[in-house]
Structure 1
Amino acid sequence: MYLKKINIKNWKSIENESIELENLMLLIGGANHGKSSIFSAILFFLGERNYRKKDKRRDGGIVEIEGKFQIVSIEKLKKLKPYLDKNDELVLKIKEGDDGFTYEVLKEYKSVEIGWTDYRDIIKNIEVVFIPSVAATSKELTEFFYKKLLSVLDSEGACDREIIGEIMSTYSVLQEDYASKGLQRNVIFNIARILSRESRKKNRSILGSTMILYEEPELYLHPQAERELYNTLIHLSKYGTQIYVCTHSSNFVGLKQYRSICIVRRDERGTKVFQNRKNLFSRDEVKRFNMNYWINPDRSELFFAKKVILVEGQTDKILLPYLAECIGVYKYEYSIIECGSKSTIPQFIRLLNGFKIPYVAVYDKDNHSWRAEYDKENAEYKNKGIQRSINYSIGSYVEFENDIEEEIESTDREKRNYRHKPFMALKRVMSKDYVIPDKLKIKVEKIFK
């Protein structure tokens, strides 16, 4: 049984938000923006935690959580048939009332009230394993995770004694008198490795459709281990496990999994979620964009940025932060993303438009006196393409004339002067006698606005 969509109303900082769910979900956002609120709503909805007075949104209406489930097991289809709609989907709702909560299912487009016993029998069909962040993690909670995991494996009947023994042996290190939080997280990591390995062997998840809610999996892991764990979670989700991750690490975000990304932001009205369910790329764009990402995987950090600065190449990425520091406008919460070329910038813009992440596209006009007319026309065509791609309600552009090297010198440059561009340009602006031209200063201020 898979949870495919959830609507949350008046829960903590959430007024009214809907989330489309993939088997792998990546919740991204700043501290206190509402990621944990989403997790707590799901846990309450699935009977894994109690309701608390502070769960209700301040000055909000009634609490209401609705989930849509997909049933893939023939056995469960027969068992849950009385609660399913015409499409054999299950829509379940929990709603605050005067005397506690009421429970409903949607049948033939009408809500039908059911009792607590029926509700409990329905939600028992989805196993939930919660791994809290380090702030809440203790040896006792890690032991609870371990025992719940063994219970799930036993109910699925997918593991032989040898695999169970390996998991038990991995966990046994926590039986020592001193077990640090770092050790606890590494035990969970190593267990995840075993689960992924065995699922690949069987070509199906040995956890079945179990839902794992995993807070900050990156804690106490070095970058290489983060990337391995992310790959492990991807494999488990592909084989059928539902994995919802709340993370602050770009190593747990892949551009190929953009449908799994849910950006969580909080404004004066509360928590908002941003997803992109459309196809971002078509035909060869997918291949080019994925190649561009694999060459420079740190581009994933754009999903965590307050604003993204898109640039063509290395020279801009190196010079812009230095110049911004010099004039006092640099912001650490902004990310400068090297797109590789002018041609690829529109693809990044499309991605940022989809998730409504503020951005500025910075590109070279490339109208140098030494360029052939054909090259100038081609550059102008690509520049116009960048401008057309921008959603001006969240993005803008800054054009260098003709590139940043000419801007820092305030003069035309000969083609022969373009050897070792990043090094020579940085050497020039770092010299003691260098003064940033007013025209360039205005553009840098606009970029970091």
Structure 2
Amino acid sequence: MKIESIWIKNWRSVKEERLQAQDLMVIIGQNNHGKSNLLSSILFFFGEIKHQDLDFYHGSTELFVEIQFGALDESDKTTFKKYLTSEEKIVVRKSAYLGGSFEYKGYIENPSEDWLQEANASAYTKRELASSLPFHPYIPESGRITKQDIIDAQNEYIRNNRENIEFAFELETTNFLGLKTVAKGIFGEVYFIPAVKEASDDFSSKDSSVFGKMYAEVVALMSEHNNDWKETKENLGRLFSTLNKKDHEGNENNERPQQLIDFEQELTDELTAWGAKVELEVNAPDIESVFKANTQVWIDDGVRTDIKRKGHGLQRALTVALIQVAAKKAFADAEAGGEQGNRKASNSRYFIFEEPELYLHPQAQRSLFDSFVALSESGSQVILCTHSSGLIDVERYKSIYIATKDNDIDGTKVKQCTENLFEGDSKKDFNLSYWINPDRGELFFASKVVLLEGATEKTVFPLLAKKLGVFRYEYTLIDCGSKDNIPLYVKLMNKFSIPYVAVYDRDHQIHKGPDAVAAADRSTKKIEDEIDANIGSSVVLENDIEEELGLPNGGSSKPYVALSYITSEGFSVTPQMEQKIRAIYDAGA
């Protein structure tokens, strides 16, 4: 099953926020705006971290994280049968209270009729009353009617008459699944790698580590399919059975070592006054646990040592390698399942990463992102928070979650886009612009985005801004590839409420005919129609950048020529161009 939506209330900096989940969720935002708090709320729900009093938002005494799950397999539907909606989803809330206690509760579709509500089942156990109710065909024909008989009859009636019954979707009054605390892992396996952590922790053989969980699967497969392993387990079992008084069938063991018999007797003799006897029983160890507990990971990079003795970069690379192995394995399992006609799923696996880019160079970050994508496409869900544009793919804009916090009163809010923005040719054009501007993922981290027609503007504008003393590092310049691509980026900026300025050419050059001018005006109108004045603005260059700078027409290598021109001795910025550069870099615009 998979997370479909998340509702967070009063968790750390999050006053209240709802997220629509994706298979890949990349949480970004400025420092101290709540990225890690969004991530930790999910970890809290899964029981990976415990809440503390400091986790409650601004004096609140109760907090909760509520998750809706979908894509349930048959096993999930059986486990969570009570909570299954007509759309085959379940919704579960984990609440915590100031002082330390917490509880899980699920939502149930409760029939509006009292006689169909499970909570009232005990009121209808008298046969005379039960026989008068519509569910009477489903109660036992004779004998005493129990509460469970009534519940079974209610459920059977609901199954056969669902379309004629009114339901209220409400939080149950009892504990989820009737359990005081929900067993860890009941919603699926969680693999969490925090930002600051020893790689040796990830590679320990403990069941709580990422390596330990994956290694446990390997050991389980060995136990199931490896004949030598099976034989070893059987021999070990026989060896330990010879140490006990009776064998596994309850017969006297005549092969028991005399040393154990003598030791038992010596202890018994000392307890004569108590009338007690001592009997030692030796249990065979779980060979899987022994195997895992005695496994260590060593690295030979020219010098063979344990992980702790390696540099941070190599330590992080090992963790990345682990993720990539998990991605390939999950993808292979999903493909095998598809070939056999099974549901393409990950058996509910959630990979959660905090700043996975730490200690990794840009190329390694891009490789890591591909592994995250592979994991998400194999059926697992991947959730991460990051400061790196290398872990963002603009084409996957639905996977991007921007955390913002304008003030402490409203707390952390999230900007996300759940709809399809581009179709047909516009989608193709937007995706192709990646090759013009491969670092465009940076725009999601910018305080303002400058959308440009081409490479010349992107080359000269920063230098001119520095000459004028108005340059800002927090601004990102995007080469959209053409004037007609600018509206695509404007649409994206509007959806995420990212401030922007669209800079384009008027294209009314004197040599252009009426048709060319009309085409330019149509392109201009598309840009202006798309701009949301509450978020963005535009700056129009008279005809083109070359004319604005005073460059001669024609020629090649425009960015280089323009750069050479503005850095040449005697060049000065015209008042008109200075006004436009200042407008582009104006923080208040």
Common fold, TM-score beyond 0.5?
yes
Structure 2: gaps (5+ residues): 110-168, 227-287, 300-304, 338-343
Tell me how far 1:155 sits from its aligned partner.
7.6
Name the structure 1 match of 2:332: 201
* Aligned equivalents of 1:130, 1:31: Cα separation in 2: 21
Segment of structure 1 superposing worse, 168-177 or 302-311: 168-177
* Pair 1:447 & 2:584 matched: yes
* Aligned equivalents of 2:104, 2:41: Cα separation in 1: 15
* Aligned equivalents of 2:460, 2:327: Cα separation in 1: 43
* Pair 1:139 & 2:200 matched: yes
Equivalent residue in structure 1 for 2:447, among 299, 302, 306? 306
Tell me how far 1:272 sits from its aligned partner.
1.2
* Aligned equivalents of 1:414, 1:181: Cα separation in 2: 53
- Asked if 2 retains the 8 angstrom alpha-carbon contact of 1:90 and 1:106, the reply is yes
**SS of aligned partner of 1:9:** strand
- Asked if 2 retains the 8 angstrom alpha-carbon contact of 1:213 and 1:243, the reply is yes
Tell me how far 1:221 sits from its aligned partner.
1.9
* Pair 1:175 & 2:306 matched: yes
1:324 aligned partner, one-letter code? A
Name the structure 1 match of 2:188: 126
Correspondence list, 1:214-363, <5 A? 214-268=353-407, 269-363=410-504
- Asked if 2 retains the 8 angstrom alpha-carbon contact of 1:400 and 1:407, the reply is yes
Cα distance change on mapping 1:31 and 1:375 into 2, 3 Å: same
Tell me how far 1:430 sits from its aligned partner.
1.3
Cα distance change on mapping 1:77 and 1:440 into 2, 3 Å: same
Cα distance change on mapping 1:177 and 1:263 into 2, 3 Å: closer
* Aligned equivalents of 2:368, 2:429: Cα separation in 1: 26
Tell me how far 1:48 sits from its aligned partner.
1.2
**SS of aligned partner of 1:113:** coil
**SS of aligned partner of 2:525:** helix
* Aligned equivalents of 1:176, 1:389: Cα separation in 2: 54
Residue identity over aligned pairs, in percent, reads 35
Cα distance change on mapping 1:19 and 1:160 into 2, 3 Å: farther
* Pair 1:378 & 2:379 matched: no
Structure 1: gaps (5+ residues): none
**SS of aligned partner of 1:219:** coil
- Asked if 1 retains the 8 angstrom alpha-carbon contact of 2:61 and 2:98, the reply is no
Equivalent residue in structure 2 for 1:184, among 315, 327, 330? 315
Q: Deviations over 1:111-160 (max 9, x none)?
A: 11332726504862311111011x34453355333213334666899998
Cα distance change on mapping 1:331 and 1:153 into 2, 3 Å: farther
1:51 aligned partner, one-letter code? H
Name the structure 1 match of 2:215: 150
* Aligned equivalents of 2:546, 2:225: Cα separation in 1: 64
Cα distance change on mapping 1:97 and 1:270 into 2, 3 Å: closer
Segment of structure 1 superposing worse, 54-63 or 169-178: 169-178
Q: Deviations over 1:159-195 (max 9, x none)?
A: 988xx99xx9994327356133322211111122222
Q: Deviations over 1:320-365 (max 9, x none)?
A: 1011111111111110000000011101111111111111000011
Larger Rg: 2
- Asked if 2 retains the 8 angstrom alpha-carbon contact of 1:253 and 1:300, the reply is yes
Name the structure 1 match of 2:104: 103
* Aligned equivalents of 1:340, 1:230: Cα separation in 2: 25
Aligned residues: 440
Correspondence list, 1:77-92, <5 A? 77-92=77-92
Cα distance change on mapping 1:72 and 1:177 into 2, 3 Å: closer
**SS of aligned partner of 1:362:** strand
* Pair 1:420 & 2:481 matched: no
* Aligned equivalents of 1:158, 1:263: Cα separation in 2: 45
Bigger strand fraction: 1
* Pair 1:436 & 2:570 matched: no
* Aligned equivalents of 1:333, 1:405: Cα separation in 2: 26
- Asked if 2 retains the 8 angstrom alpha-carbon contact of 1:4 and 1:67, the reply is yes
Segment of structure 1 superposing worse, 216-225 or 16-25: 216-225
The TM-score normalised by the length of structure 1 is 0.90
Cα distance change on mapping 1:402 and 1:155 into 2, 3 Å: farther
**SS of aligned partner of 1:263:** strand
Cα distance change on mapping 1:275 and 1:308 into 2, 3 Å: same
**SS of aligned partner of 1:276:** coil
Tell me how far 1:285 sits from its aligned partner.
1.5
2:544 aligned partner, one-letter code? D
- Asked if 1 retains the 8 angstrom alpha-carbon contact of 2:506 and 2:524, the reply is yes
Name the structure 2 match of 1:67: 67
* Aligned equivalents of 1:234, 1:85: Cα separation in 2: 30
Name the structure 2 match of 1:38: 38
* Aligned equivalents of 1:159, 1:322: Cα separation in 2: 66
- Asked if 1 retains the 8 angstrom alpha-carbon contact of 2:62 and 2:98, the reply is no
* Aligned equivalents of 1:389, 1:382: Cα separation in 2: 11
Tell me how far 1:423 sits from its aligned partner.
2.2
Name the structure 1 match of 2:241: none
Tell me how far 1:85 sits from its aligned partner.
2.5
Cα distance change on mapping 1:67 and 1:446 into 2, 3 Å: same
The TM-score normalised by the length of structure 2 is 0.70
1:429 aligned partner, one-letter code? I
**SS of aligned partner of 2:49:** coil
* Aligned equivalents of 1:155, 1:122: Cα separation in 2: 20
Cα distance change on mapping 1:231 and 1:273 into 2, 3 Å: same
* Aligned equivalents of 1:318, 1:17: Cα separation in 2: 40
Cα distance change on mapping 1:89 and 1:340 into 2, 3 Å: same
Cα distance change on mapping 1:334 and 1:157 into 2, 3 Å: farther
